[in-house]
Amino acid sequence: MKLFELGMAALNPGRVTDVSFSAGTIYHIHEVVRNVEMAGSSVKLLGLLRDHDPISMRATLVMDNDAISIDTTFIQEDTILRENKLYHFIGELSVSPTNSIELQLRPRVVCDATGLDINLWKKGLEVRRKHLASISM
């Protein structure tokens, strides 16, 4: 049984539970790391994995001189995270246990983004945000 299935069984033993998760709103690390009002939000972040300790289940994701702590508890044990590689993480933000004015990410999805053109990705995000703003008026 996978971790997700175990968690659902614990929540509702003997019953099938319909659970849905947000795909995560795309943000830059600097937009979320010190914004404690965003605790509980589902986000998608892109960055380089600066360090990773599978024993403590901690990692650090960096982009443009900003960093966020990652709690890898929900990432499957057989997932290999390599330092200095580019990744997308999707998960929920929570207040850091070591610093109450910063957030940490508790991802449930990780995707290797090696080869992604970061500058093009940033431009694409800017265009996407402008478009979404224009259609919501």
pLDDT of 53 reads 92
Residue 79 is assigned to a structural domain of this protein: yes
What's the burial of 75, exposed, middle or buried (CB within 10 Å: 0-12/13-18/19+)? Answer: buried
Average pLDDT of adjacent 10-residue blocks, the chain of 137 residues: 42 54 88 92 96 92 95 85 95 88 92 96 96 88
Structural domain of 122 = 22-135
Is residue 16 one of the residues assigned to a domain? Answer: no
CA 120, 93, 76, 3 dihedral sign is negative
Distance CA 126, CA 137 (A): 17
CATH code, 106: 2.40.50.140
Let me know if residue 54 belongs to a domain: yes
Give me the pLDDT at residue 23, please.
Answer: 78
Identify whether 1 is part of a domain: no
Q: Residue 10: inside a domain, yes or no?
A: no
Residue 17 included in any domain: no
* pLDDT (0 to 100) of residue 7: 44
47 is a domain residue: yes
Six-digit token pair at 24?
């995560």
